[in-house]
């Protein structure tokens, strides 16, 4: 499964609870406790009607990759989901359906397995981009066992959404719901083909909403504890009304299998992507032209904010909309079009949902005051490659700031030219408070509390007015970030 993430070891404990399950003709959205013989009986939801009524809209997908060697190890596209030395390998080799033996695949061919669901009766299907990316032939299997050749209408790797089309009519269609109406703790169900076992139903609850994952800044994921495994990718996440509220996309796992944490793409975002793929074959998003980071409690104190909120700007593209609007490194974006930015992850999601050419209004925090700015978004471009040279080691004389644990030196003219910056101080040594704050030798200090640092004298002057809290704008390799440091 694409983007499967390594998680820290999880400890779990559960109390023993005895339950009495009563049959119900209608799904119950909430478990209702009742007393019986001194024990608690729970009326649990019934998913049978959901499966029989809405399950036929779910499909299995196989994408054959040719000429590219082995496929990425994701979404169950390996012939078997366990290594050969695993005790379960023989079981999967002998009994797992829809999986050809490994030796039957040619050396230049691999197959990706996943799920999807039909969104229109004339054959449009939604799935994950990582299931069908680079696929030469895509085949879709319906619940009535029909196999159809699918055409890839387009895919968007940033949201991990792909749109397929099969030549068919009068197909069963999945009902689309509204993820905004989902509540944490609400029952949900998934239908897909984990490990090739088609039409598999799993259920659980919504664990959280609006999750932001590493390297996934455009999708506010729905987190659930629904069992999702390789092969479920691209399948629907249903609410109890039988409406699709998400596309199962990723798991948080140490083993590659389900560990109780799954993530789904909200269906409203996926449908927006699908509409653009259907009409244009690609997705256009707005771009502001800034690099941002989270505002911690320490940084909030350094910038004079009452509480940590907003998106802290660490770099402004000199040719982007933000620069034209007057944004600067050190500004904290608090609102976009009157919508509060509670966390830095909110900003790219909001900007990414708007198209190029959209005019937006920003409220930013700068040096103790709120300031309103207007900007016009441009087309989002691929991330640039790393072309900047690192700073060299032939630095001039170092200046010690023993109380901070820093030894700094001014950059040479050649170093500034190589790095493309006007000033900055190179950290030669970092120890004590500086090291504990995360400052490292080789970092370059570009600013202090929204003041540009071009020399040792400028640093001393800004430090004197820091008032016990310093937010250092630091360049580390190709990254730029703020690091909080106490100066008292």
Interatomic CA distance for residues 277 and 292, integer angstroms:
29
CA atoms of 420 and 196, how far apart (whole Å): 52
In this structure, what token pair is assigned to residue 264?
């789904």
Distance between CA 379 and CA 356 in Å, rounded? 5
Q: List the catalytic residue out of 75, 112, 207, 233.
A: 233
The bridge status of strand 39-43 relative to strand 58-66 is unpaired
CA 374 to chain CA centroid, nearest Å = 28
Pairing between β-strand 451-452 and β-strand 425-430 as defined by DSSP bridges: unpaired
Q: Which two tokens stand for residue 153?
A: 């209408």
3-state secondary structure of 221: strand
Let me know if 233 is a catalytic residue.
Answer: yes
Active site residue 160: yes
Candidates 54, 75, 130, 430; catalytic one: 130
> Which among 156, 160, 346, 443 is annotated as catalytic?
160
User: Half-sphere exposure of 119 toward its Cβ, with a 13 Å CA cutoff?
Assistant: 26
Alpha-carbon distances, residue 278 vs 78, 156, 271, 272, 282 (angstroms): 30, 12, 10, 10, 8
Cβ contacts of 351 within 8 Å, gap of 6 or more: 285, 286, 287, 288, 336, 360, 377
- The Cα–Cα gap between 326 and 373 comes to 7
Structure tokens that stand for 164 in this block: 């397929």
Residue 405 near residue 435 (C-beta atoms within 8 A): yes
In SS3 terms, 294-329 reads as: ECCHHHHHHHCCCCCCCEEEEEECCCCHHHHHCCCC
C-alpha–C-alpha distance, residues 95 and 1, integer Å: 21
- Residues whose CB is less than 8 angstroms from the CB of residue 152 and which lie 6 or more positions away in sequence, other chains included: 132, 135, 138, 162, 163, 164
Q: Cα 45 from chain centroid?
A: 30
- For this structure, is 170 an active site residue? no
What's the full length of the chain, in residues? 488
Report, as residue numbers or ranges, the catalytic residues.
130, 160, 233
């Amino acid at each position: 499964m694409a983007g499967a993430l390594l998680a820290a070891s999880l400890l779990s404990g559960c109390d023993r609870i005895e339950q009495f399950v009563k049959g119900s003709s209608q799904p119950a959205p909430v478990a209702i406790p009742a007393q019986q013989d001194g024990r608690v009986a729970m009326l649990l939801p019934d998913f049978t009607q959901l499966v029989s009524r809405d399950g036929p809209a779910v499909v299995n997908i196989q994408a054959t990759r040719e000429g590219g060697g082995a496929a990425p190890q994701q979404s169950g596209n390996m012939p078997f989901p366990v290594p050969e030395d695993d005790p379960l390998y023989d079981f999967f080799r002998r009994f797992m359906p829809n999986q050809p033996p490994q030796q039957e695949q040619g050396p230049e061919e691999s197959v990706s397995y996943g799920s999807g669901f039909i969104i229109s009766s004339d054959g449009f299907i939604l799935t994950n981009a990582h299931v069908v990316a680079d696929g030469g032939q895509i085949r879709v299997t319906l619940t009535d066992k029909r196999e159809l050749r699918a055409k890839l209408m387009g895919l968007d790797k940033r949201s991990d959404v792909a749109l397929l089309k099969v030549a068919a009519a009068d197909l069963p269609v999945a009902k689309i719901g509204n993820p905004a109406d989902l509540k944490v703790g609400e029952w949900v169900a998934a239908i897909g083909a984990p490990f090739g076992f088609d039409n598999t139903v799993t259920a659980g609850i919504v664990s959280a909403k609006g999750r932001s994952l590493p390297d996934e800044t455009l999708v506010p994921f729905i987190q659930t504890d629904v069992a999702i495994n390789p092969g479920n990718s691209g399948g629907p996440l249903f609410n109890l009304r039988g409406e699709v509220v998400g596309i199962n996309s990723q798991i948080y796992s140490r083993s590659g299998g389900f560990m109780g944490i799954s993530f789904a793409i909200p269906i409203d975002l996926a449908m927006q992507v699908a509409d653009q793929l259907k009409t244009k074959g690609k997705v256009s998003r707005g771009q502001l032209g800034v690099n941002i980071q989270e505002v911690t409690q320490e940084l909030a104190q350094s910038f004079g904010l009452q509480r940590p909120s907003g998106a802290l700007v660490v770099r402004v593209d000199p040719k982007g909309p933000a620069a034209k609007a007057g944004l600067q490194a050190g500004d904290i974006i608090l609102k976009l079009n009157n919508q509060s930015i509670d966390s830095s992850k909110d900003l790219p999601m909001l900007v990414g949902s708007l198209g190029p050419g959209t005019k937006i209004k920003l409220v930013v925090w700068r040096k103790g005051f709120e300031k309103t700015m207007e900007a016009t978004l441009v087309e989002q471009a691929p991330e640039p490659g790393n072309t900047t040279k690192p700073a060299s080691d032939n630095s001039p004389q170092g200046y010690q700031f023993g109380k901070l644990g820093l030894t700094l030196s001014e950059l040479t003219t050649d170093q500034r030219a190589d790095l493309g910056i006007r000033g900055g101080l190179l950290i030669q040594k970092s120890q004590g408070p500086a090291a504990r704050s995360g400052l490292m030798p080789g970092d370059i200090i570009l600013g202090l509390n929204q003041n540009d640092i071009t020399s040792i004298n400028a640093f001393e002057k800004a430090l004197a007015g820091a008032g016990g809290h310093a937010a250092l704008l630091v360049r580390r390799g190709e990254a730029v970030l703020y690091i909080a440091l106490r100066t008292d």
